[in-house]
DNA sequence: TTCACTGCAAATGATTTGCAAAGCA
DNA sequence: TGCTTTGCAAATCATTTGCAGTGAA
């Protein structure tokens, strides 16, 4: 539930114009609580909401929002990209059967951080718990 | 450094014939310590070793070995699949710039396991520490 | 003799890109 | 007016698949 003003602000900061398509997609993404969307799914949802936007623009917009810090890309499946509206670092449950991706609400932390290879620094820590039906 | 006999044994168990291509690829994969390979990289390596094998067969073989439990697939990048010769659960360092994937030697465990969604069970826990140059 | 296996080339599917038309500052 | 943005269709790229030929039991 990110406020409209914040979206505008971040678009402006990123040098992105608040076009009809970007605002409409932002509304779908941010006015419904935390979400995990694929480009295809967002496009379908836009169509249903009678928003005229091409799939190419959905892809562009997702990447631009990610660079602007409004979204975070989550890698759980080689066959498609997921974008998460929750941008701080947190773990995920991934249900392989359904393709459903969920935030892990509890704090998941590593018991201890391993030593890094020389000359490197951490750019992110991904924790994915893969689920199947019990 | 998996022994030849074990590879044969696991191929037999999986109902896979020990063909020239499978044995040659197994040798490249398992006789050089722990490795993380993409299909493309393994194909190039095979060519250099004068092993005649098509890219399609490399793909088939990687998947068959994975199903047979000789390899584990690691998801770190939507643009390509990595296969790990170390099959027990362990974390990875992924260097985004170079595409290099490394095992984390220290034991990385979660500080505590979160509650799972109802009706699900864990099929795997992936920990990936993304690295960039310091 | 049969069924598995391989290689080739074509198909696939998600994503990206080139470019002309349309939109916003 | 001048730079962005969009949409379409074509291009890409890793991966998969159809199928005829090859090989192993």
Supply A97's token pair.
Answer: 């059967």
CB pairs under 8 A between A and B: 127
pLDDT tens digits, one per residue of B53-98: 999 999 999 999 999 999 999 999 999 999 999 999 999 999 998 9
- DSSP letters spanning B99-125: TEEEE--S---BSSPPPPPTTEEEEEE
Give distance CA A19 / C1' D18 (Å). Answer: 46
Comparing CB atoms, the residue among B79, B115, B123 nearest residue A132 is: B123
β partners of residue A102: A93
Comparing CB atoms, the residue among B75, B115, B121 nearest residue A106 is: B115
Q: Which of A38, A40, A58, A39 is nearest to A101 (CA)?
A: A38
Give distance CA A91 / C1' C23 (Å). Answer: 40
Give the span between the Cα atoms of A81 and A86, in whole angstroms. Answer: 15
* pLDDT for res A48: 96
**Assigned architecture for domain A5-131:** Orthogonal Bundle (1.10)
**Does B125 contact chain A (CB < 8 Å)?**
yes
**Does A124 contact chain B (CB < 8 Å)?**
yes
- Tokens 């490249």 label which residue? B28
β partners of residue A129: A93, B125
Contact assignment for B125 to A128 by CB distance below 8 Å: yes
* pLDDT for res B86: 96
Whole-structure pTM value: 0.93
- Tokens 């490795």 label which residue? B35
**Does A97 contact chain B (CB < 8 Å)?**
no
Supply A84's token pair.
Answer: 């998460």
Pairing of strands B120-133, B92-95: parallel
- Whole-number mean pLDDT of chain A? 94
CA distances in angstroms from A116 to B44, B76, B89, listed in the order given: 29, 18, 19
pLDDT tens digits, one per residue of B27-61: 999 998 899 999 999 999 999 999 999 999 999 99
Give distance CA A56 / C1' D12 (Å). Answer: 14
pLDDT tens digits, one per residue of A27-46: 999 998 899 999 999 999 99
Supply B13's token pair.
Answer: 């168990």
Give the span between the Cα atoms of A49 and A42, in whole angstroms. Answer: 10
Give the span between the Cα atoms of B85 and A73, in whole angstroms. Answer: 27
Distance of CA A63 to the CA centre of its chain: 10
Confidence of residue A1 (pLDDT cuts 50, 70, 90): low
Supply A30's token pair.
Answer: 């941010």
Give the span between the Cα atoms of A17 and A19, in whole angstroms. Answer: 6
Pairing of strands A82-84, A36-37: antiparallel
């Amino acid at each position: 539930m990110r406020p409209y003003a914040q979206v505008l602000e971040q678009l402006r900061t990123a040098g992105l114009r608040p076009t009809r398509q970007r605002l409409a997609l932002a509304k779908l993404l941010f006015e419904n609580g935390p979400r995990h969307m694929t480009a295809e799914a967002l496009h379908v949802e836009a169509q249903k909401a009678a928003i005229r936007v091409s799939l190419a623009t959905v892809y562009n917009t997702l990447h631009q929002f990610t660079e602007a810090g409004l979204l975070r890309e989550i890698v759980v499946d080689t066959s498609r990209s997921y974008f998460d509206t929750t941008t701080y670092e947190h773990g995920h449950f991934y249900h392989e059967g359904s393709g459903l991706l969920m935030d892990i609400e509890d704090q998941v932390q590593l018991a201890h951080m391993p030593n890094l290879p020389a000359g490197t620094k951490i750019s992110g820590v991904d924790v994915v718990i893969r689920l199947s039906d019990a």
